[in-house]
Amino acid sequence: MIFNMCTMLYVQDVKAEAHFFQSIGFSEISRETIAESETVTFAPQAEGNARLQIFDIEFIKLMSPEVADNKPSILFTVSDISKWYDNVKTQGGFISDLQDMGGKHTFNFQSPNGSYFAFMEA
């Protein structure tokens, strides 16, 4: 049985968001055009089962306006938090300090389109 999870992100600038995730080390899984709107799917690890699919918010407003303003809160748990912290920090933009939370290191950051994410040590 195959079980995968994909979180959909609705953004103003698909190209900027895609470039950001690729720059911090995510793998591009697919890129396609749906009704003249580009969507890109990324994974923190190509062989893993977690995915982020980036959609243009204007396309979502046309197709499913009831979900267009939904923003998920996403936490990635990783064993190599220093690597991810350095990758995100080099991209500029908002990133918190690396902090201890309940005995685990964590940080949060904002992507180019204003969504917030967090990484926590596994």
pLDDT bucket at 107, cuts 50 / 70 / 90: very high
In angstroms, the CA 78 to CA 88 distance is 14
pLDDT at residue number 5: 86
Residues 52/95, Cβ–Cβ less than 8 Å: no
Question: Within the chain, what is the greatest distance between any pair of CA atoms?
Answer: 47
CATH number, domain of 61, equals: 3.10.180.10
In angstroms, the CA 64 to CA 82 distance is 38
Residues 22/28, Cβ–Cβ less than 8 Å: yes
pLDDT at residue number 46: 84
Question: How far, in Å, are 14, 18, 29 from residue 95 at the CA level?
Answer: 21, 18, 25
The whole model's pTM is what? 0.90
**Is the pLDDT at 2 greater than 90, yes or no?**
no
Task: Supply the range of the domain harboring residue 65.
Answer: 5-121
Number of domains in the chain: 1
Share the mean pLDDT of the chain.
94
What whole-number percentage of the chain has pLDDT above 90?
Answer: 86
In angstroms, the CA 14 to CA 79 distance is 28
In angstroms, the CA 34 to CA 86 distance is 34
pLDDT at residue number 99: 97
